Amino acid sequence: DVIEAALQEHKPKWAAMAHWETGSGRINDLEGFSAACEKHNVLGLVDAVSSLGVGAFRIDDYPGIHGWASCPQKGLSCLPLTYAPVSFSDRFIETLNTTGTRSFVHHPVMEARHWAIIEGKDVEKGTYHRTHSAYAVAAFHEALRITLSQGLTARAQEYAYHEAALRIAVEAMGCEVTSNMTSLVVLNLPKALAGREMELVQHCRAQNFGIWPTLSEPVQVRIGILNLLSQSAVTDIVLRFAQAIRDLGGEVNDARVMAALDECYKPAVAAE
């Protein structure tokens, strides 16, 4: 409804949305955004930086979205290189050819020419030169290959499984989880420690435990599990977070927390 109202009021040519917002840990509605863009003849653009390789979705299912951009270093588990997966519809490219662009740094038409794609067709030789790192190209290719060999659906299920375990454990400590992404949890501390979120984050970082605060007020705590998809990794996160709460004077019932974690992982252990 918010998107629909905004497009109706402003009548833009382009509309952009982040799919998964790591700041809040919330997943935005691709289907609703795409439908609203179609209805108002708007070119939709989506930031899929945090969702690619973690969530299961097909870009062809959202015809109102004409441009997609992601990154290599999150769900694809690659180095933060100068390459990133992008996708543009024919209408997107036609629009750029008509209106032009102010930048040649990441100009999709010029980039396509470099990779020997001219006017949407493969040609024998590229016509636009850029100097590349063979190591970077190889790393990006390997990251994509591994992701596809695992399968996006299987990866999405694995993230959801381990996020659920982490969520159950921190809730057993008295925390309130407000996120619905599967690569992290965003939470409020127990009432006894309310307002001390930044203090706890700084304390954890001093212990080489990398968690983050949210960037907006009121500050919340973010705990990520990107590429930490194992029972041992999640258990380590839970134990360190529980200790940080105790260090600030909070109380944690270890037996309750570990029982919740064991209950979540019990089916997997039984299956093995």
Q: Hey, where are the domains in the chain?
A: 2-150, 152-271
Report which DSSP code applies to 120.
T
CB-CB contact of 107 with 95 (8 Å): no
Mean pLDDT (whole number) for 1-27: 94
Mean pLDDT (whole number) for 99-120: 80
**pLDDT tens digits, residue range 48-74?**
999 999 999 999 999 999 999 999 999
Q: In 3-state terms, what secondary structure has residue 182?
A: coil
Beta-sheet strand order (sheet of 221-224): 176-177, 184-188, 221-224, 212-213
Q: β-pairing, 65-69 with 43-47?
A: parallel
pLDDT at position 150 is 93
Tokens 């089916």 found at: 267
Q: How far is the C-alpha of 107 from the C-alpha of 116, rounded, in Å? A: 14
pLDDT at position 108 is 82
Tell me the CATH class for 152-271: alpha beta
**Residue 208, pLDDT above cutoff 90:** yes
Mean pLDDT (whole number) for 77-83: 79
30-44, 123-137, 157-171, 211-225: the lowest-pLDDT one: 123-137
Mean pLDDT (whole number) for 94-115: 80
Q: Which CATH architecture has domain 2-150?
A: 3-Layer(aba) Sandwich (3.40)
Q: How far is the C-alpha of 179 from the C-alpha of 5, rounded, in Å? A: 25
C-alpha R_g of the chain: 22
Q: Model-level pTM?
A: 0.89
CB-CB contact of 196 with 220 (8 Å): no
Estimate to the nearest angstrom the gap between the alpha carbon of 158 and the chain centroid: 15
